[in-house]
């Protein structure tokens, strides 16, 4: 499946790049100096690991350094505020998970900026699904078994997440709502402690990164039941999606992207979109992203903005429905 996606990406990119390059001639001099790419999470985080190879190859393409600047804290809010208040010239941008934009405004009591008003979607850098896993001590072998058990014993099954309001937390809350079950949330300060407790059986269920969970599934320490995307994962194609397994209208597909200050000139936005998509189409970058379970997501700025708005509204509805605002 990933090969089909890659071929489609290259063909679509071939259509986008010449048109954008022709239409945006006024921005041909951009960039004329280094670009600062602000990451809202620590070095070594998923956001940081995905941004660095892209930034390196972008530096080589444009002939100016793309500096990765880690500003962790507040689920990305510190970095987003820094970029929103920067000069809107295309030389300071934010790179991070879509959840910082689409979830934070609904889950956090006070936001330093209005993300939809103060930040401009420039280009997505990839999308990814996650994996629904359980500890082997839980007597279930399918999503149907898990749902049936949870309905017989409401609230007794616990699930871990890397923090309240994170994408993986909300992916599980969405599963609960769509499946009509109840389970107890156990938030963790870091993914390492969360994974350790899952492997020890102190929590029984989790939706988390397929790349992190897959080695434990292969050794039998965890049991994989399904993936969360619209289509089967290229990492574990033998598994059904949660929707295919019987939970109607379920999908969780996370994404990464680059955003800039709201007043950035349109021609600069379009040029940066073109440049990043060109980097993401490079064979070595595509292959690295594939190893991280990240699939291409080729959108122009208007299409990306529409996707951000759609996800923002979707998670807002879920958070209100599940009563999650305020750190539950």
Domains, the chain, with CATH or none: 2-128+254-322 (3.40.190.150), 130-227 (3.40.190.10)
DSSP-assigned states of every residue in 23-63: HTGGGTT--SS-EEEEESS-TTSHHHHHHHHHHHHHHHHHT
Summarize the confidence of residues 122-144 as an average pLDDT: 96
Confidence check: pLDDT of 11 > 70: no
Strand (E) positions, 42-195? Answer: 66-70, 92-97, 119-128, 130-134, 158-161, 184-187
Q: What secondary structure letter does DSSP report for 220?
A: T
Q: Are 138 and 149 in contact, with CB atoms under 8 Å apart?
A: yes
Q: Residue 223 — pLDDT band, cuts 50, 70, 90?
A: very high
Q: Are 125 and 258 in contact, with CB atoms under 8 Å apart?
A: yes
Task: At 282, list the tokens.
Answer: 């490079």
Give just the sign of the alpha carbon dihedral 137, 138, 141, 142: negative
Q: Residue 34 — pLDDT band, cuts 50, 70, 90?
A: very high
Distance (Å, whole) CA 27 – CA 175:
45
> Given this model, what pLDDT does residue 12 score?
40
Summarize the confidence of residues 58-87 as an average pLDDT: 96
168-186 per-position pLDDT tens digit: 999 999 999 999 999 999 9
Give just the sign of the alpha carbon dihedral 198, 202, 206, 208: negative
Distance (Å, whole) CA 125 – CA 289:
10
* CA torsion, ordered 312, 297, 266, 274, to nearest 10 deg: 160
Task: At 96, list the tokens.
Answer: 């991070």
> Given this model, what pLDDT does residue 326 score?
55
Q: Is the peptide bond before 31 cis (omega within 30 degrees of 0)?
A: yes
Residue with tokens 């103060």, as numbered in its chain: 118
89-101 per-position pLDDT tens digit: 999 999 999 999 9
Confidence check: pLDDT of 250 > 60: yes
Task: At 126, list the tokens.
Answer: 């990839």
Task: At 259, list the tokens.
Answer: 């955003």
> Given this model, what pLDDT does residue 321 score?
84
> Given this model, what pLDDT does residue 275 score?
97
Task: At 306, list the tokens.
Answer: 């529409």
Give just the sign of the alpha carbon dihedral 246, 248, 250, 251: positive
Confidence check: pLDDT of 240 > 90: yes
Confidence check: pLDDT of 66 > 50: yes
> Given this model, what pLDDT does residue 128 score?
92
pTM, two decimals, is: 0.82
Average pLDDT score over the chain: 89
264-316 per-position pLDDT tens digit: 999 999 999 999 999 999 999 999 999 888 999 999 999 999 999 999 999 99
């Amino acid at each position: 499946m990933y090969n089909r996606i890659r071929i489609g990406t290259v063909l679509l990119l071939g259509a986008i790049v010449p048109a954008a390059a022709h239409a945006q001639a006024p921005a041909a001099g951009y960039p004329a100096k280094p670009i600062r790419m602000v990451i809202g999470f620590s070095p070594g985080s998923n956001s940081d690991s995905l941004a660095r190879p892209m930034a390196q190859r972008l530096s080589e393409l444009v002939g100016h350094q793309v500096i990765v600047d880690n500003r962790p804290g507040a689920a990305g809010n510190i970095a987003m505020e820094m970029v929103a208040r920067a000069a809107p010239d295309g030389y300071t941008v934010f790179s991070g998970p879509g959840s910082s934009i689409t979830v934070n405004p609904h889950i956090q009591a006070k936001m330093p900026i209005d993300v939809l008003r103060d930040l401009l979607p420039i280009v997505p850098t990839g999308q990814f699904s996650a994996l629904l896993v359980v500890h082997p001590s839980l007597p279930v072998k399918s999503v149907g078994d898990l749902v049936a058990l949870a309905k017989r014993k409401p609230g007794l099954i616990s699930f871990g997440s890397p923090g309240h309001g994170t994408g993986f937390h909300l992916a599980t809350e969405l599963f609960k709502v769509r499946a009509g079950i109840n389970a107890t949330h156990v938030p963790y300060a870091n993914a390492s402690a969360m994974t350790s407790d899952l492997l020890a059986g102190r929590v029984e269920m989790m939706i988390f990164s397929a790349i992190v969970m897959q080695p434990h599934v292969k050794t039998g320490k965890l049991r994989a039941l399904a993936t969360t995307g619209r289509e089967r994962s290229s990492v574990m194609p033998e598994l059904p999606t949660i929707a295919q397994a019987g939970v109607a209208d379920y999908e969780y597909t996370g994404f990464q992207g680059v955003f800039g200050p709201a007043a950035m000139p349109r021609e600069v936005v379009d040029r940066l979109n073109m440049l990043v998509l060109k980097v993401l189409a490079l064979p070595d970058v595509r292959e690295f992203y594939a190893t991280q379970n990240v699939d291409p997501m080729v959108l122009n700025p208007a299409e990306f903005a529409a996707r951000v708005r759609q996800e923002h509204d979707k998670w807002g509805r879920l958070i209100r429905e599940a009563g999650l605002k305020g750190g539950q």
